[in-house]
Amino acid sequence: MEEILKKLEEQDKKLDDIYATVRKIKIYFLTALIFTVVAFVAPLIGLVFLIPWFLKTMGNAYQGLL
């Protein structure tokens, strides 16, 4: 009986270790997802402002030629 209780305690400790590891991995993946979304969305937002400015500048530059 003592041996079974000892094995259960060992398994409980291992499960706690696994839970802690999985929690760290979850945080890592969440952080990676946030950085990926920011790295993809930030340039798109920049292009929303950059493209009209660029077209206006090029239109003014070539206005006399057209």
Task: List, for residues 50-62, the tens digit of each pLDDT value.
Answer: 999 999 998 888 8
Q: Residues 19, 25, 26, 31: is their CA dihedral positive or negative? A: positive
Locate the domains of the chain by residue range: 1-66
Say whether pLDDT at 66 is over 70: no
Structure tokens, 19: 């839970």
CA distance 12 to 57: 67
- What pLDDT band is residue 28 in, cutting at 50, 70 and 90? very high
The percentage of residues in the chain with a pLDDT greater than 70, rounded to a whole number, is 98
| Residue 20 pLDDT | 97
